[in-house]
Amino acid sequence: MKFSIRNGEKKDAEAILSLIKELALFEKLPNEVEITVDDLIKDGFSIQPKFKTFVAQESNGTVIGMALFYERYSTWKGKSIHLEDLMVTENKRGTGAGKALYTAVLKYAYDTNCKRVAWDVLDWNTNAINFYERTGAKILEDWRVVHMNEQGLKNFINENI
């Protein structure tokens, strides 16, 4: 299979959203995606983007995968990257596109002098866990991911401010 990895562009927003929705379905949370194509364009392809993307594109122009990430700062390490999503459409998995996207993110981190790349993986996603471990990534078993959703934020602020 022939594909190339390139920076995501505004024209890719619809394909990126489709991949995000496919990932949500894979993660058994299909109703959690609230963003729109317009949100992705505004937040990712404006003068001050909140995230960056790489896409895997077939020679016919079809986007088959994406990696979405953003810079953050570690008080222990310094400049770092959070890999939010890495996704290849189901019928294109096993083609090497996922590894190529992953490599592009890690190379970007290396080239921009980041000290760490971090991401989350579901404990039942053994294929991903095994892949990450084979590449030298360390799965931190003793840390828990913490989220506060929009309603939780609203409740907290209303009760404490």
Question: Model pTM?
Answer: 0.94
Instruction: Point out the residues that are catalytic.
Output: 132
Written out in words, the top-level CATH class of the domain with range 3-160 is alpha beta
Residues 6+ apart with CB under 8 A from 80: 71, 72, 73, 74, 109, 114, 115, 116, 117, 118
Mean pLDDT value across the chain: 97
pLDDT at 126: 96
- Report the pLDDT averaged over residues 68-96: 97
pLDDT at 146: 94
Which of 111, 100, 141 lies closest to 5 in space, CA to CA? 100
pLDDT at 55: 98
pLDDT per residue as tens digits for the range 30-50: 999 999 999 999 999 999 999
pLDDT at 109 over 90: yes
